[in-house]
Structure 1
Amino acid sequence: MIRTPSELVIDEEGNVALPLGLLAEAGLNPGDRVLAYSDGDGRLVLRRYADAVEDLVEHGHL
C-alpha cells in the first residue's frame, strides 16, 4: 500500500526528524533500534533491528 509521503529536510549535521505518524505506519516507536542502509541512488532504507538480524540469520549471513 502506498501512503502519502512526508517531505523531510536533512539538516547541516546530516540529521532528519521522522514524523510520529510515519513511524506509526511503519510499526516503529521512538527509541526503537533500526538499521539504516543505502538501497541505491537517492534511496535509504530503515529496518527494525531485530527484523534485519533475523533475516541475516535465516539467510546464513551471521
Structure 2
Amino acid sequence: MPSSDSDLTRPSNLKDHARGTGPVRTQRPVYVDFLPPCNHACPAGENIQAWLAHLQAGND
C-alpha cells in the first residue's frame, strides 16, 4: 500500500518529550477519614467503625 500525505497522524518526535510520552497526572487523590452513613442509621446507636476495627484486629 503506497504512503500518502493525507495520513491523519504524524510520527511523534520522542526527543521532544521531557516528561515522558504518556499522560501526566496533574491531580492526586486525597483520602479523608469520614464517618460512614451506617453510624447515624444504626438503630442501636453503636459505633460501627469501632466494631469493625475490633473484628479486624481479632478482638471478639
When the two structures are superposed, what TM-score results if normalisation uses the length of structure 2? 0.20
More helix as a share of residues: 2
* Larger Cα-atom Rg: 2
Highest RCO, 1 vs 2 (Cα 8 Å, sep ≥ 6):
1
